Chain A
């Protein structure tokens, strides 16, 4: 589960602290990608997300020596990203919200199921684009809690840590967000077929 520290993260942290430059680059790459995707999902802008990811990587390393290696990295990292997004929002330098579907990777169904019907795969891709259009239309609070849980797979405890809210509030806010998302999609007459999971172990 997400509250556990993945062995790879812990090993990277230990190596980085021991001065291993390769591990430092690997960790920078890993957190840069995660930061970028979350920033993109929260802001909708690729350029803004890139700036936020770079800044988050720097802040991450600046405070790394004070970070407890027994804790999972992601809640801490996502809190840095989220705070940076909010900072930019407060300074009105954030262009909200370009549609996220523009940045969606085209699905590669052949990697999931060699027998997958190309037409069905195209339909799924189209539905995903519509889904992220709907997520873009949510309020900031609803969008962030949905992406933290359903995309980044944070536990409720991790989400509570990132959003600085009580753990009990996470479930109610998440349910409200999902209900809202469902209503937006239903208002557009969309339905979502069951989809096989094509992502690896959750971060």
Chain B
């Protein structure tokens, strides 16, 4: 005996339309539809809506709209190399300053201030980038899209 409309789970109608039900559930829906004009009508209406949706077409801009070349191997290499040079420069300046302090050079004050200022600036930039990276890593909504 089939189910009455009150007992019937109408969400199954969508699963039936989409072919996403198990064989048992699909058979259950078929039996119900044979005896329930309301659900038959609802299924028919949902079917028409789905067809109208899938038959729609949208205007799409031509391909030049999104032909930005994704960063390639050369770009990635230059980016990495640039940061490597910057890092080596910072380390070099730092080492030079330490050497100046250790040898008690007369020009220590000027060069020390210069070196300290540059190091501080670069340090802050790096720290800023690091903070951004950590924040992105923590909240990155795209990390789940990766396998």
* Chain A interface residues (CB < 8 Å from chain B): 25, 28-29, 32-33, 35-37, 40-41, 50, 53-54, 57-63, 66-68, 71, 76, 79-80, 83, 86-87, 100, 103-105, 107, 124, 127-128, 131-132, 135, 146-147, 149-151, 153, 155-156, 164, 171-172, 174-176, 178-179, 181-182, 185, 192-199, 202
Contacts and interface: CB of A to CB of B under 8 A. Distances in A.
A149 B14 CA distance: 11
A153 B18 CA distance: 9
A25 B67 contact: yes
Given A53-B66, A58-B70, A185 B53 contact: no
B136 to A, nearest CB: 12
Interface residues of B, number: 38
Contact of B54 (A32, A100, A199): A199
A7 B51 CA distance: 26
Interface stretch (B55-63, B86-94, B97-105, B127-135): B55-63
B30 interface: no
Contacts of B65: 32, 36, 50, 53-54
Q: Which 6 A-B pairs have the closest CB atoms?
A: A61-B70, A32-B66, A105-B57, A175-B14, A150-B53, A192-B48
Nearest to B19: A1
B66 A36 contact: yes
Interface of B: 10-15, 18, 20, 42, 45-46, 48-61, 63, 65-68, 70-71, 141-142, 144-147
Q: Which secondary structure characterizes the binding site on chain A?
A: helix
Contacts of A182: 42, 45-46, 49
Given A135-B53, A150-B53, A195-B51, A104 B58 contact: yes
A83 B145 contact: yes
B55 A128 contact: yes
Given A57-B68, A150-B54, A178-B49, A67 B146 contact: yes
Contact of B53 (A50, A71, A146): A146
A114 to B, nearest CB: 17
Contact of A131 (B10, B53, B60, B63): B53
10 contacts: A28-B63, A32-B63, A41-B58, A63-B142, A79-B145, A104-B58, A178-B50, A195-B52, A197-B54, A202-B54
B103 to A, nearest CB: 48
Nearest to A56: B66
Contacts of A86: 141
A197 B65 CA distance: 29
Given A80-B142, A175-B13, A197-B54, A54 B66 contact: yes
